[in-house]
Amino acid sequence: MPRDIPVGNGELLVTFDHLYRVRDIYYPHVGSPNHTAGHVQRFGVWADGEFVWIEDADWRRQLRYRSDTLVTDVRLTHKRLELELEFHDLVDFETPVFLRKVTVRDLAGRNREVRLFFHTDLSIDGTPVGDTACYDPATSGLLLYKEESYFLINACDTHKCGIDQWSIGTKRVGGAEGTWRDAEDGLLGRNAISQGSVDATVGVHLQIGAGSEACAHLWMACGKRHGDVEALNRRVLEETPERVMQRTESFWRLWCRKERLDTTPLPEPVADAFYRSQLIVRTQIDNGGAIIAANDSDITHFAGDHYSYCWMRDGALVAHSLIECGQSELSRAFFRFAGRCISKKHFFLHKYTPRGNLASSWHPWVIDGQRVLPIQQDETALVIWALRRHYERFLDVEFVKPLYERLVTRPADWMLSYRDHNGLPQPSWDLWEERRGVHTFTCAATVGALFAAAAFARDFGEPDRAAAYQEGAERMRGAIKRHMYHPELKRFARMVQPMPDGTYRLDMTFDSANYGLWAFGCFDAGDELMRQEMRGLYDRLWIKTDVGGCARYERDYYHQVERDDIERIPGNPWIICTLWHAMHRIEAARSLDELREAIPLLEWAVARAEPSGVMAEQFDPRTGEPISVSPLTWSHATFASACVAYLRKHGALAAQETPAQA
């Protein structure tokens, strides 16, 4: 079940599913550990002797954010209960506190008591073994803890502070379902403590006048010690929950609008999605610099693993989006993180945990008894390329200085050494992590990296190095044309396999990743070869249903929906693959009319997003329902990059065309 309306601050991340149930709580790193293990955190309402959980089919739900903030704006209406609930959820922008404000409105026209029940099903540090939950009389809240992870749950309304009732008990042991069952009669048992596989439910009582409303706040403070969460609880009470909310709203509006871009050339829904995408990207970035691919624990049930890792390829491309949007502190943090992760052999391995440790991988170190490098070379190349983009944007000399050797010259020297007799890279894994060979995307990214390294070397007074990198890039670019282009088919292969006689076997599968040929400066986007390549990819990979969008490649098997009608549906539509065509149209545009051809693709991405603005990785080609993880950081970053590119190109073309029109 895809995630929606994530809220976070780079230290604490909370995600919801489409039923508005909290599903993931990550702390103290974005992506690690997940203290819920993906289990449902329930919410229920008792009124007039009837109890209803949030998953009840009679709820009408509207899940959105307040404009330009990471504060949710959720409406829940239940016709039978004759109640409307308005929620605002947030994570305090500077402390690990998750805060929820709920306003309950009577629609029945009579005085009523309404009881709200919030269920917490933690598996602290990823496992329920050894957890403790207890009532804390000092704070009138509930404390859940294990080792160095503490969580304090508390509440207040306009008349009092502290929870009205609670239940602490056992879950998923000996047939016990959990304390959420105890709430269904509107009363909780008030057990004082329980240990092991435990959960807890708290209740808040509200008195509501006829046709009126009442409000309550509930919060969870996170810390490493009991004293930490007590101090955070005290701070919320002293500052007041309402003030915490106001400060956090103001911060995020300042954060996403600080560049003061003129977005009027974009349709209003596209401009709104541009700011929303920046904010959602921020929720997926750890304060230590790791850019996490996605935080949706439901994917674990499909693959036995998750996306809560930092792939350096995704990270570099997201960092480039941050650079384009002016978020220099976040891009700096990523490059520092990359500098800590890169191996002593000067390349990146598959992926990394939010703490910077080597993560799980399916890339082998041995194939057919021969040692191989378990790498995707594009990951190393794109970090160099993106670092250069950062430097050109911010001229951040002092920042780049300690990273110059670690992230530029040593990796660039390694890339020069890891080439074949024609100047192409040796085999590695593709950006889709599915096949090993010499990939067009990898080659193009490496060319971009070597050009970037040459520019750095010239800046740092090393002309010999600069010449070597420049020559390596130009030779590789020539080899791409000679060995990866099929003149009869008039398009590039997606990959080649080296043969024993020194030639290559071409794989001519249409693959969206070939956009890399122009995206990193290997070839000019306006070159007729690039226009031809992108037209061919669009024609073959566009989904010919009402859903539309571009597939990754022909017969893409990952989460494949359609296996028979491959001509019409070559795969599932992906946000990033569709937006690569928008970015090419922007880059290659020679007039404002040509530039506007990118708008329908930007609008397609907006139309595929959830009402909140959250974008998934891919979609069902027949129904348009999100598939795989959501939100995908890469999807939102690509959308933001495309919007900035459009606005800059619009400004440049408008300046050119104005004198002619005059």
306-339 tens-digit pLDDT: 999 999 999 999 999 999 999 999 999 999 999 9
CA-to-CA dists, residue 646 to 198, 516, 615, 657, angstroms: 52, 18, 20, 16
> What tokens were used for 5?
């309306």
Query: Could you tell me which residues are beta bridge partners of residue 88?
Result: 101
The tokens of 228 are what? 């930490």
3-state SS, one letter per residue, for 116-146: EEEEECCCHHHCCCCCEEEEECCCCEEEEEE
The span from the CA of 272 to the CA of 335, in Å, is 29
d(CA 328, CA 323): 6
What b/e string do you get for 157-175 counting C-beta neighbours within 10 Å, with b at 16 or more? beeebbbbbbbbbbbeeee
- Residue-wise pLDDT for 105-156, tens only, equals 999 999 999 999 999 999 999 999 999 999 999 999 999 999 999 999 999 9
| Contacting residues for 598 by C-beta, under 8 A, at least 6 apart | 582, 583, 585, 586, 589, 642, 646
Q: How far is CA 110 from the centre of its chain?
A: 45
Closest C-alpha to 601, from 583, 589, 617? 583
CATH 2.70.98.10 domain span(s) along the chain: 3-242
* Residue-level pLDDT at 1: 66
Sheet holding 504-507, edge to edge: 428-429, 436-439, 495-498, 504-507
Burial of 365 (0-12, 13-18, 19+ CB in 10 A): exposed
Q: How many CB atoms lie within 10 A of CB 334?
A: 28
| Residue 76 host element (H or E) | strand 72-78
Number of C-alpha atoms within 13 angstroms, CB side, residue 181? 8
263 sits in the region (left: phi over 0; alpha: psi -120 to 50; else beta) called alpha
With CA atoms as reference, report the closest residue to 36 among 172, 135, 140.
172
Among residues 150, 186, 139, 152, the alpha carbon closest in space to that of 167 is found at: 186
Q: Are 184 and 44 in contact (CB under 8 A)?
A: yes
- Architecture of the CATH domain 3-242: Distorted Sandwich (2.70)
Weakly modelled stretches of the chain, pLDDT under 70:
1, 659-662
Q: What are phi and psi of 230, to 5 degrees?
A: -60, -45
Q: How far is CA 66 from CA 73, 89, 261, 275, 630, in A?
A: 5, 10, 20, 12, 20
* Ranges for all domains in the chain classified under CATH 1.50.10.10: 285-523
* Residue 260: per-residue pLDDT: 86
Closest CA to 341 of 365, 324, 316, 364: 316
- Are 525 and 584 contacting, i.e. CB atoms less than 8 angstroms apart? yes
- The whole-angstrom distance between residue 536's C-alpha and the CA centroid of its chain comes to 29
Distance CA 226, CA 148 (A): 9
CB 440 within 8 A of CB 455: no
What is the sign of the dihedral through the CA atoms of 406, 410, 414 and 415? Answer: positive
pLDDT of residue 659: 65
Rounded CA-CA distance 107/83 in Å is: 5
SS3 readout for 38-53? CCCECEEEEECCEEEE
CATH number at 285-523: 1.50.10.10
Distance of CA 331 to the CA centre of its chain: 15
Cβ(535)–Cβ(550) below 8 Å = no
Crossing angle for the helix pair 410-417 and 377-394, to the nearest 10 degrees: 140
**Model pLDDT, residue 662:** 43
